[in-house]
A and B are shown apart, each in its own frame.
Chain A
Amino acid sequence: MLRTCQRMIPLILVLTGFLPGVKAAALDAGYLTGKWEVNAQGVCGGKKAEHLLLRGNSTFEYGRRGKAEAVGFWRIEDDVVAFEMLSMPASFQDIHAELKLFNGYEIYRMQVMPIDVQQDRISAVAGIGDLMERLILQRCR
C-alpha cells in the first residue's frame, strides 16, 4: 500500500502542476506591482537590461538600458495583463533602422498572458497585434 502511494507521488506532482522547488503565486495587482526585468540574464540593471515598472496606481513604464521608452496604463483582465502605452517609433531605430523615419508618439496595446507564475518570476507570452514573443519576467529586488 505504502509502495503504491510512493509510486503515485510523481503522478500527483505532475497532475497538480507542482514541481520540486517551484512555488506558484497568485496573479493580482499586488503581486505584479514593482520592477521586473525582461528576459534577465543575471542581476537587474545590466547593460542590455529591459525593464517593466508596474506602479500601484495602474501606470507603468517600459525601458531599455535604464531609459523609459514607453509609458501607459496596465490592468488585469481575465488573467491576462493588458497594457496600453505611448511610445515613439524613432527610439527603436537601433532595432529597425526604418523606424527613424517615424517621429512622434503612437499608442500601442500589448497583452501578456502568464503561463507559469512563481514568487518572483513569470513565464509568459506577450502579444502586440499579430506579433508574439515568449518572455521571462524576473522581479528586481
Chain B
Amino acid sequence: MIGILIQPVTIIMKTMQPLGTGLKLLSAVLLAGAISLTAYTPTATAGHGAAWGIGGLLAGSMLTSAHYRDKEERQKVYYAAPPPAAATTMTPEEKINQLNKLAAGGYITPEEYKAQKQAILNSL
C-alpha cells in the first residue's frame, strides 16, 4: 500500500527536478494527501459501532449521553433527597404516631414498640 502511494510521488518528483526544493516539497505533501483521500476505504472504527458509519457514531453518542444523563439523574436524586428529619423537631404526639405506623407496618416488634413508647412517655 505504501509502495503504491510512494511510486507516483517519486515519478512526479523526478519530473519536477528543475523546480525549487520548497515547491517540490509542498507539491509532494499535497499530492500524498490527495492520493490518501482518494485511496481511502472506510474501515471499522473500534469502540463505537464496528461496520456502521453513521449508526456507529450515533450509537456511540447515545451511549455517552445516556451515561451522562444517568449520572445526572443519580446526582439529582442524591442532592434532592431531603435531609433526615431531626428527632428533636418532632412532638411526642408525632413520635407516637410514627411509632404506631412502624408497628402497624410490621417494621418493629411489639417489644420494641412498647419500649420506644415508654421512652417517649418518660420524656414528658
Interface residues of A (CB under 8 A from B): 4, 7, 10-11, 14-15, 17, 19, 22, 38-39, 48, 50, 52, 62, 64, 69-70, 87, 89, 92, 95-96, 98-99, 101-102, 106, 108, 110, 115-116, 123, 126-136
The answer to whether A130 and B62 touch across the interface, beta carbons within 8 angstroms, is no
B49 at the interface (CB under 8 A from A): yes
Interface residues of B (CB under 8 A from A): 12, 15-19, 23, 27, 30-31, 34-35, 37-38, 40, 42, 45, 48-66
Complex CA distance for A116 and B34, rounded to whole angstroms: 9
Closest Cβ–Cβ distance, residue B56 to chain A (whole Å): 6
Distance in angstroms between the alpha carbons of A7 and B82 in the assembled complex: 80
- Contact partner of A134 (CB less than 8 A), chosen from B42, B49, B55, B58, is B42
Contact residue among B15, B30, B54 (Cβ-Cβ distance under 8 Å from A133)? B54
Known: A10-B16, A128-B57, A131-B60. 8 other contacts (CB 8 A): A4-B18, A14-B31, A92-B59, A96-B63, A98-B63, A98-B66, A133-B53, A136-B40
Contact B16 A95 (CB under 8 A): no
Closest to B33 in A: A14
Assembled-state Cα–Cα distance A38/B42 (Å): 10
Given A102-B66, A115-B37, A69 and B55 contact (CB-CB distance below 8 Å): yes
Q: Is the CB of B66 within 8 A of A89?
A: yes
Q: Which residue of the partner chain A has the closest CB to B41?
A: A136
Q: Are B34 and A19 in contact (CB under 8 A)?
A: yes
A123 near B62 with CB under 8 A, answer: no
- Least Cβ–Cβ distance between B108 and chain A, in angstroms: 37
A102 to B, closest residue via Cβ: B66
Are A14 and B27 in contact (CB-based, < 8 A)? yes
Q: A99 CA to B28 CA in the complex, in Å?
A: 46
